[in-house]
Every structure is written in structure tokens, then in C-alpha cells.
Amino acid sequence: MKRYLVPNDYMADPAVHVFNGRLYIYPSHDWESGIPENDNGDHFNMKDYHVFSTDDPMTGEIIDHGMVLSTDDIPWAGRQLWDCDVAEKDGKYYMYFPLKDKNDTFRIGVAIADRPEGPFVPQPDPIRGSYSIDPAILCEDGKYYMYFGGLWGGQLQRYRDNKSLEAATFPADDEPGIPARVVRLSDDMLQFAEEPKPVVVVDEQGKPLTAGDNTRRFFEASWMHKYNGKYYFSYSTGDTHQLCYAIGDNPYGPFTYQGVILTPVVGWTTHHAIVEYKGKWYLFHHDSVPSGGLTWLRSLKVCELEYDAQGRIKTIDGMD
């Protein structure tokens, strides 16, 4: 069983967390742009965030808490307020969002709220040294880690060793693929506490997945959750439209590839969150069925997620 969560609006790229015993959903918000579709993602017109909550994702009421942040609120804003994530620390809620600055370069900003439903007040500047898209936060033993990065329109190919390149480059098909990044956040939750590190996904022989292995290698949409003491790093393969996952023993990895969580859906992108709530596991994602297949007008979905006895995630059919 799958459910569309916000049938009367186009929401995508969900981040989902349990705060105060309730599920909170933080999606991006799709608007029609009138721009032809291209690999840079210029056709995506996201300019604000809404927050949703529920006490039962499959059958309960989905409450829209309204618009909680807009590009108009952010001093350094250029365009395209893509997917975000939210973390709680000491009674404050920190929203991490990617946004193109006035030079059309993605940075990651922070906005703060007193409640999980917002509204969120942005900091005057982006995080120093931040780049690319898709921030996802893991809280572990009082420390907070951000996973981020995305290829093509997400601009990750413009960087090596956290420094921008004069010209974007992609590795050869037989070379290791461009990895996501992970970085520990500062105690005040507003900056990086260290240099971002590569999130290496390896095959069964311990070799990094290659750039040409595009049915398994990382493209975008990092998410991290724990199950039975293991760290599950999940992500989208982008141009092959699958959600995959890899397992590691610590937040930094390496992570060994395991398989496919979700097969391709209607629409180009696949972006997700995995969360446990009231003893069940759920996969939140999106597709473009309600818009008639328009890849830039996507709709939130949810379904239950299951593990087998060995802790492997059972593959879900994206066309169901």
C-alpha cells in the first residue's frame, strides 16, 4: 500500500523525522517554471518550504503548517531552494537548505526555529565552505553529521578536495565515481567543524564503485539511518532512477553496497527519507503520476519498508 500525502499540491524530496512523538515532513515545493527541461535542472522552480505533520503516515490526517521559509526571506538568495533537512538540538530546530547564491552557485544555509513546524529564520550567510545540494543530518551520540552532494545540476562535479575547479570534470567510466560528502557540524550547529570527507561506497570486494557503474554509484539524495547497530547510507543513482543503499560500521564509512530499495518511478528524479515510527519503518519518496509525468511537478508518497532476517531491505516496486 502506498499513499499520496499532499494530493492538492506538488511537494518532493522529503526529509522526515520524529519530533515530540509526531512525524514531521520537510519537502521541497515544486512550482511550474515554464523553462524547458535540461540536465542542469533549470526547469525546477522551488522557492519556498512548507512543513507537514501526522500521527499516522498511512491513514492519518496530514496537517500543513504553512509556508515556513521563502527565498524572499534569505539575504544571500539567488534562486532554486532545493531539498532540505531539519535537526533538533537543545530545544531548537535547525533547517539546512541548499540554495543558489547570486552567482548561481549552490551553497548550504541554516535557518532556526523554536518549534519543529517553524517558522524558520535564516542566518545572514551560508555555511562557510559549503557547496552542492541535498543536506541530510544524522544525530549520533550528541554529534551531528551532514551528508550532502549531487551531480549534474547539483554541481558536485565542480569540486575536488573541497575546492572549486576551473572547469567541472567527471571521472572516466573505470575510475571511482564522484562520492557524496560527510561532515561533522560545529557545536552551535551553524558551521562545519571539519573538512568534508568523501562517502565511499564499495563493492563486495571492497573496491569503490566506478563512475560507469551508473546503476549502483552515487548520484544525489543522501540519507542516513541506523538499523540493528549498522549505518545505512541510501541514495539515488540519478540517471538510472533507482534508490540504492550501502551499509557501514560508522558514520564516515566506507559503506558496502547492498542493493536496490526502490525501482524507478514515473518521473526523472528519486529522492527519499527512511524513518521508524511507532514500531514500523517507512519509505517517503515522490513520483510524477499526479502531474501526468511532468518531472518537475512531483508528489509526495509513503509506503512501509521491510527488512529480511539478515537486515537487508526488501526491494519496493516504484510503479506500484
Give me the residues paired with residue 285 across strands. 301
What is the DSSP secondary structure assignment for residue 280, as one 8-state letter? Answer: E
Q: Which of 257, 265, 264, 262 is nearest to 273 (CA)?
A: 262
Letter for the amino acid at 266? V
What's the rounded Cα separation, in Å, for the pair 109 and 228? 32
Q: Which three cell numbers stand for residue 160?
A: 575536488
- In the Cβ-directed half-sphere of 173, how many Cα atoms lie within 13 Å? 4
Catalytic residue, from 187, 220, 239, 249: name it. 220
Is 104 labeled as catalytic in the residue annotation?
Answer: no
What SS3 class is residue 238?
helix
List all residues 6 or more positions away from 280 whose beta carbon is below 8 Å from its beta carbon: 304
Catalytic residue, from 13, 85, 117, 287: name it. 13
Letter for the amino acid at 304? E
Is 13 labeled as catalytic in the residue annotation?
Answer: yes
Active site residues: 13, 220
